[in-house]
Copies of this chain bind each other. A is one copy, B any other.
Amino acid sequence: MIPEELLESHNALQKKYAKGDTIFHEGDLPVNYFQIISGDVKMSNFNDDGKEFIQGIFHPKQSFGEPPLFLNRVYPANAIAVSDCELFVLPKSSFLNLVKENASVSLSIIENLAQRLHYKSVMAAEISSQEPEHRLLKLFDYSITFFKIEKEADGYRIDLTRQQMADLTGLRVETVIRTIKGLEKKNEIKIINRKVYR
């Protein structure tokens, strides 16, 4: 998102996290800007009975958790390393300066936020009311365009576990499993070696 050179010239640190590490907690006040160098990060909530809802999964070159930085609010969700990963970490004040001084950075922040808002709008409409089949297909299609997933011989491989699909759509694993089998029968997707192709 923000070019490496700029980050480095503004005192950004590089920090490593192990799979499963929490980068920040829901309810924390933000003190840093984060941008992924390698690995994947998810932002998610846990409700009262422990069920997880994944707000989004982020990949190298993407940033996450900026909105509260601009609003002086606490984080609405946890950030957790999905795999071992390395991040740029830039203190809040340096980040805000960087944004103010640099028109191209603030434009790219706008585009990034607009993109994520778009994703949320699309998914919100699906999740709120639609049947499991709709939710999952929308998730697959959106993941494909959003994350630029590679096309293979059998279609785009969706690199999500059944549990992640459930947590991204608000369904239960069993429902996901049954639904994607139904989708396979309708030829909407292929399942090869337990992986979903669209």
Contacts and interface: CB of A to CB of B under 8 A. Distances in A.
Interface of A: 45, 47, 51, 53, 55, 66-71, 73, 76-77, 99-100, 103, 106-107, 109-111, 113-118, 120-125, 127-130, 169-170
A70 B110 contact: yes
Contact of A66 (B107, B114, B124, B170): B114
Given A77-B125, A100-B103, A114 B111 contact: no
Contacts of A100: 103, 107
Contacts of A125: 45, 47, 53, 55, 76-77
18 contacts: A47-B125, A47-B130, A53-B128, A55-B121, A55-B124, A66-B114, A67-B121, A99-B110, A100-B103, A109-B110, A110-B110, A113-B113, A113-B114, A117-B120, A127-B127, A127-B128, A128-B170, A129-B170
B71 A169 contact: no
A67 B127 contact: no
Nearest to A96: B107
Contacts of A120: 117, 120-121, 124
Nearest to A128: B170
Contacts of A169: 128
B71 A114 contact: yes
B103 A68 contact: no
A151 to B, nearest CB: 21
Contacts of A109: 110
A169 B128 CA distance: 7
